[in-house]
Amino acid sequence: MSHLLHLISCFIRTLAVAFILAIVATVLFNLYLKFTLIEHDTDANTKVSTKYAYLIDPDNRFTIKELGEKLPSFTAVTPDKIPYQLSSQTVWLQLKLTNNTNQLQKLVLYADNSLLDTFNIYPLTSSGLQLFPLESQDSTINRLYPHIDLSLAAKESRTFILEIQTDGPPNVPVMVLAEEKFHHRLLYTQVIYGAFIGIVLLMALYNLVLYFAIKDSVYLIYIGYLISATLVLSSLTGFGYLIFSTDTQAFINKYLLFIDYYLVIFLLTFTLFFLRYHQQSKHTYRIGKLFCIALIGCSLYSLTLDTIAQTKLFFSLQPVVYLFALFLIIRRLRNDFSWAKYYVLSWFPLLAGAAIQPLVLLNYLSYSFITSNAFLFAVMAEVTLMAFALAERMRRHEQDRLSDITYHIASGLPRKSNIERFINQLSIQANQDFTVIVVRPEHIEKVALYIDDSMNTDLFQRLFIKLSSLFEFNDAIYPLTDKKEKLCFINNDSLIFILNNKRNKQSLETLVHSIQQVINENFEVDNIKLPLSAVIGAATYPQHGTKSHQLINHAILAANSGENTAIKWAIFQPESSDHANYLLKLTGELKQALENNQLNIYHQPQIDLRTLRVCSSECLLRWQHPKEGFIPPSVFIPIAEDMGLINQLTLWVIQQSLAQQAILSEEYGYNHMVSINISGKDIASKHFFKQCLDIIDASNIPADKIIFELTESASFAYNDHALKLIEELAELGVTISIDDFGTGYSTMSQISHLPFQELKVDREFVENVNDDNKRKIIAETTVKMAKGLGLEVVAEGINSQADEDTLRKFGCDIGQGYFYAKPMNLDDYIDWLKNLVNGRIKQPVQGEFIPASKE
């Protein structure tokens, strides 16, 4: 039924459009017939015979008196064959009129050219040529149509000599019409010009409103084009005398060709801006600007030339500009025709009118009412089509704006706003039962360390297509957009959809398994298939929230929880929300503790395994919460990373550690090194090096006494900025160490081409190294490979004499662990340094590290 109603609606709309087009076509056809009738007065031609002859005076030397002696030299011709040319010549016409009837004929002799410099009519009588011209009525209409009223008695013949001279358009159609037909012609031309002025005014106001609404300069440029087109046509048709004062119109006529340049400049500039070359193709836009600048220069140069030279220069440049504008249009058509179709169509009448009317004015085409006004008709058609084009552009602009809101620009995938709007619509309806489900590729945050934005976009576009195919015939999954897309892209790392629980015929577990299978088969980066699946979280309305942000956030929290399970998916549990709120609260308190210096630095010594002396201390951050008590770094460091506090936190640790190192050195004489932990997110900061340099300079601690222990080393290998920063730190003298080697993403092949000087073997492979043969082999191999690369090796997690002996045997340089000391605050560390315990002092052996004892 709905399909039938849609067909009927489409039929009615089509019928209405056809009816309107038929009316418009009928009006235009009738106007064409009227124009055809007024082109030639057939009644006057039958009743009054006309004979033409001409004489060209190229040097303007003849006077009317001298011409009386030259009458036999006139050449007989038909009106359309008079050889008008673009020059300063004077054309003399001999016109003989004969009344073939027995009645008085009232006629009008006129020239269809309002830019004449000279138009004089001299009667030829039986006594000879009259030496003074007939005087016409001095009026606006006479300036518009130079003419004179004549009367011919029955069977009377009269001959006239016409003196015509112009530096403007050379073609001067001279006509003889019945008085009534002449006034009809004036009426029609006034109606046409009035319609043109009305269209121009409406379009100018319309575009002015659009400019103030949208602030797009293309609308102001178009208004400039309309104004220049109006001035040009007002001069060409002479109708400017109807709207401007005589002196103003005379001034416009004088500088008509100068204005013509700016008509072309505005048209070219409008083309560049309308087709958005200023936004999308800077090179082409620059060429277009150079064209416009060149035209401005030519317009100023033309002011130094006479009218004939100006005309030749302009008409030689105009085709070049039109060809360049057509190139701009055709180039844009190759990309997208739909939004520019009306603008392209507007060029057809413009080019036709721009070609026809100059050819008529230059006497290369036959004169007619339609061809003589071709440019006026063309501009009217063009302005009308451009009104559609601007409306379409504005519609497309609005569509693009909405698309930017609802779709990601880079990927083209639906944004989060689509699902938020849809959830809000569903929640208004009664008895709704649906589940919001988030799908995130497993370990995508780690994978992101190796790929750029385009690869990440390609990955999610591929997953979007595959999951869309999986959901295509599943009616239980809601379409979220006008395009019936069922997935949205959120947080730059997840896809999300809504499941209608009432329509769903399969278990949630089955659906999740099928999604994970699709992700597993299509989780590829740079054509490398990764053996990973998907992490999925679900939140149900209304149990887990009634607002869109609640359901989406709870589904994300569920996915985070599911990542730590074997099945890799979970349904939201309110307890996890409480935990999330706790972490959020803790974030604010951590920031406050940082700002109020309520955090502490603890030192854990590092021992040279050859000299058994303290060679360094690792500075560790500790937080003693006033209410919660001790909060371990494993809790608050991830919070700092997720909430963007890690950079500020690291810089605070560096500053405090170096300040305490200065106390150890200057007050107590302990000159060993200080080791500070740095994260991958610190290295990614473009200001980190300068900030570190400022802190080091202020501390007076030599850079060669500082060790930076870096984590997430895999991310550095593919990050040019990180590599450059590490190299700058190394050049400064800072020792760069790889922390926790053997876990995470650090590999020996990556380390071999990274600028590190020290490697730290993770405690997992050091603690009780003698109790597990596999662990022992891994530790020994790691140490030997690192030594082979010329790296110092630190073993953390030494808890016994046996651990120390084994690591020393492997070739390890430095030891760290509870066998020597637990992390201590500064005062306890100073006491420890004064009273080394556990019998750690032996006879010193010459080593490469400076001992902790006073010098």
The domains of the chain, with CATH numbers, are: 42-185 (2.60.40.2380), 189-404 (1.20.1070), 416-572 (3.30.70.270), 595-825 (3.20.20.450)
Please tell me the predicted confidence (pLDDT) of residue 427.
85
DSSP SS3 for 246: helix
CB-CB contact of 845 with 838 (8 Å): no
Distance CA 535, CA 563 (A): 6
| Bridge partner list, 90 | 57, 165
Residue 571, H or E segment: strand 569-571
Burial (CB < 10 A; 0-12, 13-18, 19+), residue 352, is middle
C-alpha pair distances (Å), 6 with each of 3, 479, 569: 5, 21, 44
CB-CB contact of 775 with 769 (8 Å): yes
Please tell me the predicted confidence (pLDDT) of residue 290.
92
Closest CA to 738 of 789, 678, 811: 678
Buried b (16+ CB within 10 A) or exposed e, 628-647: eeebeeeebbebbbeeebbb
Distance CA 388, CA 390 (A): 6
Please tell me the predicted confidence (pLDDT) of residue 591.
87
Distance CA 245, CA 801 (A): 110
| Bridge partner list, 499 | 435, 477
Closest CA to 147 of 189, 186, 112: 112
Contacts of 232 (CB under 8 A, 6+ apart): 256, 259, 260, 263
- Mean pLDDT per 10-residue segment, the chain (855 residues): 59 67 61 56 68 86 74 81 82 90 90 83 82 73 81 91 83 84 82 82 84 82 88 82 83 88 90 81 86 92 87 86 85 66 74 71 71 77 76 70 73 87 87 91 74 79 90 90 89 90 89 89 72 87 88 89 85 71 78 88 93 92 86 82 84 93 90 89 82 90 91 54 82 85 52 77 84 84 86 91 91 92 92 70 38 38
Both tokens of 329, joined, read: 């249009």
Distance CA 433, CA 817 (A): 56
Alpha helices in 238-281 (DSSP H): 240-243, 246-254, 256-274, 277-280
Please tell me the predicted confidence (pLDDT) of residue 450.
65
State the CB neighbour count (10 A cutoff) for residue 602: 17
Distance CA 486, CA 497 (A): 6
**Beta-strand relationship, 528-529 and 524-525:** antiparallel
End-to-end CA distance of the chain: 98
| Bridge partner list, 438 | 496, 537
Closest CA to 224 of 186, 184, 261, 174: 261
Please tell me the predicted confidence (pLDDT) of residue 753.
63
Both tokens of 640, joined, read: 């700092």
Q: How far from chain centre, in Å, is Cα 839?
A: 71
Q: Is the peptide bond before 542 cis (omega within 30 degrees of 0)?
A: yes
Percent helix, strand, coil in the chain (nearest 5)? Answer: 55, 20, 30
State the CB neighbour count (10 A cutoff) for residue 834: 9
Buried b (16+ CB within 10 A) or exposed e, 505-541: eeebeebbbebbebbbebbebeeeebebbbbbbbbbb
Phi, psi of 53 (to 5 degrees): -145, 155
Distance CA 736, CA 723 (A): 12
Distance CA 679, CA 17 (A): 67
Closest CA to 47 of 173, 185, 177: 177
**Beta-strand relationship, 735-741 and 758-761:** parallel
